[in-house]
Structure 1
Amino acid sequence: MNDPKGSFKASISWMQGSALTIGAVLGSGVLILPVATAQLAGPAAMVSWVLMGLLSIPLAITLGRLASEQPDAGGIAAYARRAFGDKAGAVTGTLFLGTVPIGGPICALIGANYISALFSLNSYQVVIVAAAMLIMAVIFNYRGIQLSGRVQIAVIGSVAAVLLAAVFSALPYVEEKAFFPFAPNGIAPIGVSMAMLFWAFVGWEMIVHLAEEFEDPIRDIPLSLMISIIIINIMYLSVVFVTIGTGAYIGPDNSIALAGMIGRGWGHWAGAVTGILGFLTCYGTIHTYVAGFSRLVYAQSRQGDFPEYFSSLHEEFHTPHRVLLVLLPVFMVVLWISFWFNINIGILIQFPGTIFISLYIIGMAAAVKLLPSQGWGRYFAALSLIMCMIIYCFTGWIGLYPFALGAFGWFVQSLRKRSLRASEL
Structure 2
Amino acid sequence: MIDSQLKRSLTWVQGTAIAIGAVLGSGILILPAVTAEQAGPASLISWLLMSLLAFPLAMTLGSLGAKYPHAGGIVEYARLAFGDTVGRMTAWLFLGTIPVGVPIVALVGANYVVGTFSLPAVCIPITAALMLLLSLVLHWRGVEMAAWAQVLILVLIVVLILGAIIAAGPHIKEEQFHPLAPHGWLPVGSSAVEIFWCFVGWEMVGHLAEEFHDPSKDLRRIFLLAPMFVGVLYVALSVVTIGTHAYGGAYTVTPLSQLVGIGMGRVGSTVSGIVALWITFVAIHGNVAGFSRMVYSQARAGVFPAVLVRLHERHKTPIGALSALGLDFAVVLAIYAVFHVDLGAFMAWPSAMFLALYIIAMASALKLMKGAGWGKQALAWIPFVVCVILYPFSGWAVVYPILFGVIGWLMTRIYAKTARRQNAVQG
> TM-score band (shorter)?
over 0.9
Asked if 1:401 is matched to 2:400, the reply is yes
* CA separation of 1:331 and 1:48: change in aligned 2, threshold 3 A: same
The 5 Å alignment of 1:350-389 reads 350-375=348-373, 376-389=375-388
Q: Distance in 2 between matches of 1:337 and 1:253?
A: 28
Match of 1:20 in 2: 18
- 1:4 shift after superposition: 6.6
Match of 1:218 in 2: 216
Equivalent of 2:285 in 284, 287, 301: 287
Q: Percent identity?
A: 42
Q: Distance in 1 between matches of 2:410 and 2:208?
A: 29
Q: Distance in 2 between matches of 1:310 and 1:74?
A: 14
The 5 Å alignment of 1:188-207 reads 188-207=186-205
- 1:243 shift after superposition: 1.0
- 1:373 shift after superposition: 2.0
- 1:183 shift after superposition: 3.0
Q: Distance in 2 between matches of 1:343 and 1:175?
A: 38
Match of 1:421 in 2: 420
SS at structure 2 position matched to 1:392: helix
SS at structure 2 position matched to 1:319: coil
Q: Distance in 1 between matches of 2:346 and 2:38?
A: 22
Q: Which amino acid aligns with 1:21?
A: A
- 1:326 shift after superposition: 2.1
- 1:168 shift after superposition: 1.1
Q: Distance in 2 between matches of 1:182 and 1:353?
A: 27
* CA separation of 1:125 and 1:253: change in aligned 2, threshold 3 A: closer
SS at structure 1 position matched to 2:383: helix
The 5 Å alignment of 1:58-97 reads 58-97=56-95
Deviates more, 1:172-181 or 1:353-362: 172-181
- 1:240 shift after superposition: 0.9
Q: CA RMSD in A?
A: 1.6
Match of 2:296 in 1: 298
Match of 1:232 in 2: 230
Q: Which amino acid aligns with 1:410?
A: W
Kept in 1, the 8 Å contact 2:55–2:228? The answer is: no
Q: Distance in 2 between matches of 1:271 and 1:64?
A: 38
Q: Distance in 2 between matches of 1:139 and 1:303?
A: 25
Match of 1:143 in 2: 141
Kept in 2, the 8 Å contact 1:114–1:276? The answer is: no
Kept in 1, the 8 Å contact 2:194–2:348? The answer is: no
Kept in 2, the 8 Å contact 1:17–1:149? The answer is: yes
* CA separation of 1:396 and 1:185: change in aligned 2, threshold 3 A: closer
Q: Distance in 2 between matches of 1:107 and 1:284?
A: 10
Q: Distance in 1 between matches of 2:403 and 2:251?
A: 40
Asked if 1:10 is matched to 2:11, the reply is no
The 5 Å alignment of 1:260-275 reads 260-275=258-273
Kept in 2, the 8 Å contact 1:166–1:258? The answer is: no
Q: Distance in 2 between matches of 1:283 and 1:75?
A: 23
Q: Distance in 2 between matches of 1:12 and 1:341?
A: 41
- 1:250 shift after superposition: 4.8
Q: Which amino acid aligns with 1:138?
A: L
* CA separation of 1:30 and 1:217: change in aligned 2, threshold 3 A: same
Kept in 1, the 8 Å contact 2:115–2:253? The answer is: no
- TM-score normalised to the size of structure 1? 0.96
Q: Distance in 2 between matches of 1:350 and 1:122?
A: 27
Match of 2:161 in 1: 163
Equivalent of 1:38 in 11, 36, 39: 36
Unpaired runs of at least 5, structure 2 = none
Q: Distance in 2 between matches of 1:208 and 1:175?
A: 42
Equivalent of 1:346 in 340, 344, 347: 344
* CA separation of 1:180 and 1:220: change in aligned 2, threshold 3 A: same
Counting matched residue pairs gives 423
Q: Distance in 2 between matches of 1:84 and 1:201?
A: 26
Deviates more, 1:76-85 or 1:346-355: 346-355
Match of 1:178 in 2: 176
- TM-score normalised to the size of structure 2? 0.95
Kept in 2, the 8 Å contact 1:6–1:315? The answer is: no
Equivalent of 1:208 in 178, 200, 206: 206
Deviation by residue 1:133-155 (Cα, 9 ceiling, x = unmatched):
11001011111111111011112
Deviates more, 1:358-367 or 1:255-264: 255-264
Match of 1:327 in 2: 325
Kept in 2, the 8 Å contact 1:8–1:319? The answer is: yes
Deviates more, 1:371-380 or 1:92-101: 371-380
* CA separation of 1:272 and 1:358: change in aligned 2, threshold 3 A: same
